[in-house]
Structure formats: C-alpha cells, structure tokens
C-alpha cells in the first residue's frame, strides 16, 4: 500500500467579532483581563422572556463599515459577522490570493449551528403575525446554512472547496478540522475557516428557555452554584496554510494546528458521555504527537450546566490520567457566552493567545468549589505560565465531539 504523505498545518491569521468587542485582539484582551461580555438582553421582545441576559455583540458594531453596501441586503447577521471576521483574518495574515493562482487552491469551510436564524424568525413573523402575503425576496440566500461560506468565497475570489458544517455546538471545530484535513492531504494550500452564529431571535430564546438550561444571571462554569449557560453570538475566522506555503511567503505563523480529534458518544441526544469526549481528546493528542504531560492548558467546553461541567471533568481525567491534576483548565464561555456554532472559533482565539503570550485566561465567576469538578480551573484571574501545547474542546448536543490540539509556532 502506498504511503500517504501529509503536510503540517499552521494558522497565519485570525479575526473575530464577539461580545467583548470588534476584532480578535479585543476578544483576547477582554478574556485575559477577565472581563464579561454578558449583559442585559437587548431585544424588542425582552419583556416577554424569562431570561434577561445574553452575550451580545456591542451595538457599536457597524457591518457597513467593512462590507459593500450593495451586498448588505443579501446578508443575515450571521453572514455579517463572518464577512467581517474573515476580512480581518485575511488582512492579519497578509496572504494574497491573486498570486500564483492561490485563489484556485484555497477552500472555505464555515461552521454554524443554526444558520440564518434571525432571518427565519423575522420572515415567519411577517407571515404568521403580520399576515403578509409573501416574504422578502432574498430570504433564502440570507438564511441558507452555507450563506456565510459562500459570501466569503465570493468576496475574496476563492474557488476551492467551499461549504458549511452544522453540528450544533461543535460546528466551528468540525469546520476547522475539515479545512485542516484538506490542507494536510494536498487538496488545497490554504483555507478560510471558523464559525459564526447570530441565534438570539425570539423563537430561539423561547426554545432554549423551554429546555431549562439557561442561567438567569451569569455563566459560572465548574462552580457549585452554576445555573446554566448564557447564549452568545459572534464569529471567529482563521487563515490556515500548509507549513511549506506559509514559510515560502514569509508569513507570521501564530500557531501550529498539530492534531485533531472527532468522535460521537452514540448514547443520548442531549446527555454528554465522558468516554466520547475523552476519545476525541486522545485522538487529537495522538495526531499531534503529544503525550498527556506535554499539554499545559485546556480551553474547556465548559458551558456552565450541571451535566456538561461534571462530565467534561470526568472526560479530562479519563484522557489525561494523573496529569489531569497538573493541567490548567478554563472556560471562556464565562465571559463571551455560548455562541453555539461559533463558540469553538472564539475559543481558538483564546487558545492561540495562551500559546503566544504565555497567559491562560480565567474561568470567571467561579466562587464555590464543586466536588464533581475538581480540576484547576484558573478561577477569576488570568495566570502567566509557560504554555507549550493546548487542547480546545467542543462538545455538542447529539453527542458530537471535536477537539483541536495546538502547538507553538514552528
């Protein structure tokens, strides 16, 4: 059997729009300072909702500042976020798609949990509440799940494989893994990838309320007094390249995406299983050539629900054995909220920042120890420490697990 040669994959650019501000650096600085983007909900129907908090992108965000006004009517809020973050990532990377036909060899893979939810909600209201006879003519191109990936492809002339990934809260990590695999096996030389979400419609908020997993004040991952997750929104987009391609053009490499892991619990549609999550973490370490003791930090899925946090703690112990007690583990959802299909992308910004700056962001609001959550969760204050390798965990309803393993830039 012929040996398959694989290529190393690196990250050369990142962009973000988040509850902590516009830009990847605004997100990272907010996280390392322990600032919260969770605030009173801004929504026309907030009086009809039980839960009054969310992690929303600041009102100062102006999509028209970076997007052609002729394109804006085509865009759901999800695509506005994605296009903004993609432009920042591409500029940050300094990559030029017009050189040497690179646009033909660049793919786009974007994850989203629910796609154009605000468009869906608005047009349903028109039909069923206002009794309108028709919807907006651009409804389909706004709400389709692949809209963000397609809009990025069109905006930058990228003609490689372009598609969306939808796997609930693991969508961004699954998308990043797919993009990395295309580079690793030579299908493309570069990829634009990440996740985007704008899910704070009245219908979605009501549906999450019905599940009884939303906190009514703030997000307290791993704390004994945790009350649930806080919904968020935003986008994180990255430029991935093969190591050879990045080095040949003299790119500034942020980190190496050294390993990935994916698994399914195959047990329950909502209740997580520690075995499945541990399997994905082991796969990511194995692919990256990392022993458990080589990993210094885990950016946890850490939603702040009773079931997730205790299960993830058990999964980390299964995957790391005795080294689990020497790991720094934190959940940045305590600050940027749970952005569903975009969460893994926002958390990748945190993982890159930890590697680059030697600073582990904290788990905010952790004020009561829980015997079921007995790891070092870096409570409330960032920690300066050497960081050689990081795992970033995303675990989704449906029992879907996706883990990224990062190393320092080569």
Q: Which residues are part of the catalytic machinery? A: 169, 301, 338
Residue 249 tokens, joined: 């053009």
| Long-range pairs for 178-182: beta carbons < 8 A, 24 or more residues apart | 178/109, 179/107, 179/109, 179/240, 180/9, 180/240, 180/257, 180/260, 181/260, 182/107, 182/109
Residue 381 tokens, joined: 């204050």
Please say whether the dihedral angle defined by the alpha carbons of residues 252, 254, 255 and 256, taken in this order, is positive or negative: negative
| Rounded Cα distance, 73 and 67, in Å | 11
Return the C-alpha torsion angle 306, 307, 312, 314, nearest 10: 100
| Rounded Cα distance, 113 and 115, in Å | 6
* Beta carbons of 34 and 380 less than 8 angstroms apart: yes
* Crossing angle of helices 274-288 and 306-320, rounded to 10°: 40
Q: Give burial (CB, 10 Å; 0-12/13-18/19+) of 61.
A: middle
| Rounded Cα distance, 334 and 366, in Å | 9
Contacts of 196 (CB under 8 A, 6+ apart): 78, 79, 81, 82, 85, 110, 111, 112, 148, 234, 235, 237, 341, 342, 345
Looking only at the bridges linking them, the beta strands covering 21-22 and 39-40 are: unpaired
Count Cα atoms within 13 angstroms, Cβ side, for 377.
Answer: 32
| 394 three-class SS | strand
Of 51, 52, 16, 21, whose CA–CA distance to 36 is shortest?
21
């Amino acid at each position: 059997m012929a040996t398959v040669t694989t290529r190393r994959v690196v990250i050369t650019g990142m962009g973000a729009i988040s509850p902590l501000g516009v830009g990847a650096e605004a997100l990272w600085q907010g996280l390392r300072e322990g600032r919260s983007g969770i605030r009173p909900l801004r929504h026309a129907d907030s009086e009809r909702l039980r839960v009054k908090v969310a992690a929303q992108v600041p009102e100062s965000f102006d999509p028209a500042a970076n997007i052609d006004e002729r394109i804006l009517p085509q865009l759901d809020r999800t695509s506005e976020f994605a296009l903004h973050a993609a432009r920042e990532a591409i500029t940050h990377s300094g990559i030029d798609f017009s050189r040497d036909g690179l646009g033909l060899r660049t793919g786009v893979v974007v994850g989203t949990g629910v796609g154009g939810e605000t468009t869906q909600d608005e047009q349903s209201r028109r039909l069923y509440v206002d009794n309108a006879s028709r919807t907006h003519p651009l409804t389909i191109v706004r709400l389709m799940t692949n809209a963000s990936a397609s809009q990025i492809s069109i905006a930058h002339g990228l003609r490689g494989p372009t598609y969306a990934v939808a796997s609930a809260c693991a969508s961004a990590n699954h998308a990043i893994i797919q993009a990395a695999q295309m580079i690793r096996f030579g299908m493309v030389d570069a990829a634009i990838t990440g996740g985007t979400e704008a899910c704070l419609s009245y219908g979605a908020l009501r549906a999450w309320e019905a599940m009884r997993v939303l906190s009514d004040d703030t997000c307290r991952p791993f704390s004994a007094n945790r009350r649930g997750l806080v919904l968020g929104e935003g986008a994180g987009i990255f430029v991935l390249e093969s190591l050879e391609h990045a080095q040949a053009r003299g790119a500034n490499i942020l980190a190496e995406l050294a390993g990935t892991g994916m698994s399914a619990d195959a047990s329950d549609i909502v209740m997580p299983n520690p075995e499945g999550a541990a399997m994905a973490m082991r796969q990511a370490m194995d692919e990256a050539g990392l022993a458990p003791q080589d990993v210094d930090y885990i950016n946890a899925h850490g939603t702040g629900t009773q079931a997730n946090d205790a299960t993830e703690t058990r999964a980390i112990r299964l995957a790391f054995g005795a080294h689990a007690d020497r790991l720094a583990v934190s959940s940045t959802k305590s600050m940027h909220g749970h952005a569903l299909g975009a969460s893994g992308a926002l958390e990748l910004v945190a993982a890159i920042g930890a590697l680059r700056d030697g600073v582990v962001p904290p788990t905010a609001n952790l004020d009561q120890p829980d015997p079921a959550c007995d790891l070092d969760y870096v409570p409330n204050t960032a920690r300066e420490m050497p960081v050689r390798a990081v795992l970033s965990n995303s675990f989704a309803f449906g029992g879907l697990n996706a883990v990224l393993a990062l190393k320092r830039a080569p």
